[in-house]
A and B are shown apart, each in its own frame.
Chain A
Amino acid sequence: MRITVRVQKFDPERDAYPNEKDYRLDIGWRASTVLDALFQIKNELDGTLTFRYSCRSAICGSCSMVINGQEKLACKTMVINEIRKHGQILIRPLRQMRVLKDLVVDMEPFWRKVTEITPWLVPQELSETPSSMSPRVTKDTLGEFHNVDACIMCGACLSACNSYEASPGFLGPAALAKAYRFVADPRDGAKDERLIDLDGVNGVWDCTRCNFCVEVCPKDVKPMEAIIRLRRAALQGGMTQTMGARHITAFMEVVRGEGRLNEGLLPIKMLWRSPGKLLRTLPLALKMFLRGKLPFPYKRPIRGIKAVRQIFETRRRATLKSPTS
């Protein structure tokens, strides 16, 4: 099969801007992955083409790149599937990281974020738990973090992360998923310290829930789900004063009360303890009011609200009790 592969090339020492180059090549049966196609280009057409790779079997995470608009592992992506779906193969380096050459980016910001979350098990005080009673990872507790343990640190999620794009300090999906892995581990002795750290600036509450990380992860880690579990753990641990935690609590109270969300009431419930912030919403509230877009902070509840409130109470109590889920 004769195909065209378009690759973004950039050598910061020679080029002012990245440019795209087309390579025409025949791929046979063996050249079935995008990584194979890249090898063929390098061997037969352009020896200067630069890209990272190692294991060739989707366990090292080296060859992540943007293929036809989505972060993927080149070694796991079949040429034929891409051609069928997109009619072409367009390869660019990971986004939001400095390009060192062609498809190789500087992963330093990624590694810095991962090291920031103390990515190792902090042992519990031995004197408190005699060895026979020390916590073990059982089949049940393993289920809590097996998804995040599958992470191969390829950087695809950070490249696709919308919050990171807007706020480079944000810890990002991979680091937070890794942090969750240790919070969920019964052997870890620093769970509380971790949650307090993650609850702060650039932490779990800066995720915008865009789901890009879940969509692009080649190992089905679902980083955003791990972030949501960290938020839940913070709530269950009594850390209820962050804006994010207040948002969840206020949102739930409004829906429990009226059955529906009321945009006129939510900011009041959420921000009444921060008068400055509440004041800041006033000019907008006034403009909304003038256009008939500001719901009155009290609306008549939906019909059947009594049963809805009963469901709310039952679930709320149960969720607050259970340590995970």
Chain B
Amino acid sequence: MSGSGRIALRVAVLGYLGFLLVAPVSLVFYRTFRHGFGPVWTALSNPDAVHALCLTVEIALIAVPLNTLFGVCCAFAVVRYRLPGFGVVNTLVDLPLALSPVVVGLALFVLYGRGNAVGDWLTGHGVHVLFAMPGMLLATIFVSLPFVVREVVPVLREIGDEQEEAAATLGSSGLQTFRRVTLPSIRWAVTYGVVLTTARALGEIGAVSVVSGAIQGRTETLTLFVQRSYENFDPIGAYAGATVLASLAIFTLALMTVLQRQRSCR
């Protein structure tokens, strides 16, 4: 590509990214801390904010390990064991990526609400899914389901059977092979998947909103807290919450970048 053409394209692309990504995000950081750290701290110490943050973290701490376990199992079922029907499973796993989170929330609402066999049975036994933690958990697990699977499947495919066969010929039992050979070779893929899953879980709003009713101080996650603050003309609260989330996101981004490097090195 000619010199001037290349520079022109570079400027255009960087301009687009600056306009769309960098400027808005930077501005929020600036606006948040414009009047110093004090107002931010006050906003974040508000009990609703604290509760929202704790709730968000709690949900992530349960959803992410579960989805990681599922992710590794499913990847093995698809690639290594080649169990029948798992080609379809591999496609279905991507559904949460293509589905609107509000639709996800509504599906859960229908399943666990009144008028549905499952919902009625559970409520009858004192288990409240909607407007409570279980529902929020299920919604978060749903939307963050695919990431570990999607990262591990191609890596497992690429590694192939041979290392495991070699281990078998050297006397290694199934479990030993899994622990010493297979798991180490997928560890970066799993880690990267975990980071993506966590980011998605922390950022979830649509599905959780439908399922939880966003009850202030009870079933409100940090993302919902930001939404409510803004809609109730509390920009400090909204920006403060947004800054916490954005900081977590940038930290996630840094982790993702570092892990990408690790993966391409090995």
A in complex with B:
no
Interfacial residues, chain A to chain B (CB-CB below 8 A): none
